[in-house]
Each structure stands twice: as C-alpha cells, then as structure tokens.
Amino acid sequence: MTGTQPQDLKLEDVSRSFGPVVALERTTLTIAAGELISLLGPSGCGKTTTLRIIAGFETPDTGRVLVGGRDITELSPNHRRLGMVFQDYSLFPHMTIGQNVSFGLRMAKLPRAEITERTRRILDLVRLPGFDDRFPHQLSGGQQQRVALARSLVTNPSILLLDEPLGALDKNLRESMQFELRRIQQSLAITTVMVTHDQEEALTLSDRIAVMDRGRILQVGTPTEVYDRPRTRFVSEFLGTANLFVGRMTEGANAAPVAVARREGSESDIQIAVPERDRRNNGDTVMIAVRPEKMQLSNNRNGADNAFEAEVVGHVFRGTHRAYQVSLPDGRGEVIVYQQAGSSGDEPVLAVGRRAWVSWSANDSIVVDPEA
C-alpha cells in the first residue's frame, strides 16, 4: 500500500537537555525495518522527547537520527517523510473525512485522480470505506483514531510515529483498537515507534519494548523478555507486579545457587533458590523479583524449589484471577499471589486466616539490579 520499502531507524548518541534538566541522556537505539517498538515509561521519563527528536520538533544536543542510513538530524519535520498520530488525533473539524485524509496529498499538489484513488485505498485499509463525506463529529472515537491513522499513512511515510495513540479511548474500545492498529501496521510493514505509559498496550502491540526512566533506556527486548527477565527493579515493578526480596548469595544443596533473603518490611529470612544463569559470587547482595502469577498457594510444599508457610490476610477477585495477600512467616510484610480463576467460577476461595504454603520454581526467581 505504501509503495515504499520499510526502512530502519537509528538514534546514535542522541541527547537533549532543557537548561539544567536532562530530558534524555546519551542514547543509542536501532529499530529494524518494519518493526514496531514501544517507548514505555512514566511521565517525564524521556519517551516523548525521544519521539519529538525523531519527528524533528526537537533538535538533539548531541548525536544523529538516521532513516535508512540517511542522516535527517538537520531536516525540518515536513522534509523527513514521517507520519505521526497524536493522542487527540488533531482532525480538522470543518473538513470531511476525505478532505482530512487527503490533506497532505493536496498540499503536495498531486493529480486529483491520484488523490482520490489513494484516499479511497487507505480508507479501505482502515475499514472506513464510504466515509469520505462525513465529518469528524459524526464518528466514534475509534473511527476518528482510524481517520488520523489513515491521514498519516496516505503520504507513504518511511516511519510512523504514534504518540499515545489510544489514550483517549475507553478500555473496551482501546483493546479492540490495539488489534486493529497492529493489523494495519503489519499489513504495511511500516517501521513504527509508539510512545505509551500503558504496559498492557506495549505488551500487546510491540515487537520490542524500550523501558525508560529518568531519561535513560533501562532495557530493550521483546515483550516476553522484558516481562519474564527484567534486568532492574524499576522494570520488574513498572511492567507488571513483582514481589521483591533482598539478601545475600550463598550456596545450597548440590552447590545450587541460593540467596538468604527477606521481603522488604519483614525480618524473616527465607532461602530462595535462583537459576544458574543468575548465580552471583557468594556474599554478594542481591535483589530477587518473583511475579505473583509464578507463585502457587497449596496445602503443602509439594517438593517446590522455594516455599514457605504463610497466612492469607486478604484477597480480591479480578475476573481472570484472584489476587491473594499472604503474610510472611514472621507476620511482618506480605507477598501477592495470583491464582487463575477456573472456567466454572466455583473453585474454592482461600479464606482470610487460612494457612497455606507459598511455592515457586527456582527458574521463576529473577535477580535484578536494585539501583537502576
């Protein structure tokens, strides 16, 4: 549809400060041709500054921006051949949908027949055929989002930039539009950079995720990699929920790597087995993250690598699972355990005050960097 080959995007040693405030530390990142990468992080982490540097709205203090090997750092935004979709869509309310979508083509003074044909094809692609004569106020939020996407794609951009593109939609519509956005991006094989603070959105849409905090990229990887193998405390807590333990590395039975650790707020030492890949030197201080869904609650230890006996102090139902708050052996501090809800909905609920064993596999203990 775009008529162009997908191109890679590279940031080479790019940085940006505003007076004494460092918005983006020196950053190098390569985005493969046709890839969708999400810049994920909280407000003020540098993700929007990064996107604006790519778009040409901000000039980096250092470094270069390259598209397909071509340096575009000094080019103005309108000469970069980039498409951009904003959170508020920025549609022209006085123009019809056809006029909104074809705006860039008309500014380029293309022949009328070509404008008509390209507008028709892109509206077909976003599943809005025959909407040419309607106005934005006559469309739903999801339809307006697709119009904004069509307008950014009709000019055959080499890179697509998405700035919180689904943030204005309600939850149900946002979920359906995630699939629609991914379908369109993959059908065009267009290199795409998306800014979001929504973890679920990043996990659903991305080929890779770059998790950012305080102007730095802390980790880049596939959704599975950054979720299952976070490198830092921040990544483990920002991308989902994590139970964190701090302790010292030692050696267990059969020379297996373990840590004598305790949950923050507790005074109970627990021996936690970790995978061989996470072995550290004996005596090293380590932080261990365990995802709540990797833990199990049962009547006995069941031969698990890691286990301790505890008491249920609270629980809530979240549709797909129950979240249990479980005390540590000394009663000071808790861990969160997710138990998948059964299809029948009549699985027994562990009552508050019930004693149970919390257990998990050594492979589900993740040693993370506590500082980053």
Bridge partners, 232 (sequence order): 369
- Give which of 89, 93, 223 is closest to 166, Cα–Cα: 89
Give the HSE-up count for residue 37: Cα atoms under 13 Å, Cβ half-sphere.
Answer: 26
**pLDDT-derived band of residue 43, with 50, 70 and 90 as boundaries?**
very high
* Mean pLDDT, range 19-48, rounded to an integer: 96
What CATH number has the domain spanning 241-368? 2.40.50.100
Is residue 372 predicted with pLDDT exceeding 70?
Answer: no
For 247-258, the pLDDT digits (tens) are 999 988 778 899
Among 25-34, 201-210, 332-341, 361-370, the minimum mean pLDDT is found in 332-341
Among 30-34, 37-41, 140-144, 251-255, the minimum mean pLDDT is found in 251-255
The two structure tokens encoding residue 311: 């008491």
pLDDT greater at residue 119 or residue 175: 119
For 139-162, the pLDDT digits (tens) are 998 899 899 999 999 999 999 999
Q: What is the pTM of this model?
A: 0.91
For 73-115, the pLDDT digits (tens) are 999 998 999 999 987 878 999 999 999 999 999 999 999 999 9
Tell me the C-alpha distance between 1 and 83, whole Å. 14
Tell me the C-alpha distance between 339 and 295, whole Å. 8
Residue-level pLDDT at 2:
45
* Mean pLDDT, range 12-32, rounded to an integer: 97
Read off the DSSP letter of residue 34: T
Tell me the C-alpha distance between 234 and 291, whole Å. 14
Residue-level pLDDT at 303:
83
Task: Give the Cβ contact number of residue 212 at 10 Å.
Answer: 27
**With 0-12 CB in 10 A as exposed, 13-18 as middle and 19+ as buried, what is 65?**
buried
Q: Any idea which fold 9-237 has?
A: Rossmann fold (3.40.50)
Residue-level pLDDT at 120:
95
Residue-level pLDDT at 346:
60
Give the HSE-up count for residue 227: Cα atoms under 13 Å, Cβ half-sphere.
Answer: 15
Distances (CA, A) of 188 to 35, 181, 204, 226, 229: 11, 11, 18, 26, 31
**What residues does each domain of the chain span?**
9-237, 241-368
Tell me the C-alpha distance between 35 and 299, whole Å. 46
How far is Cα of residue 271 from the mean position of the Cα atoms in its chain? 32
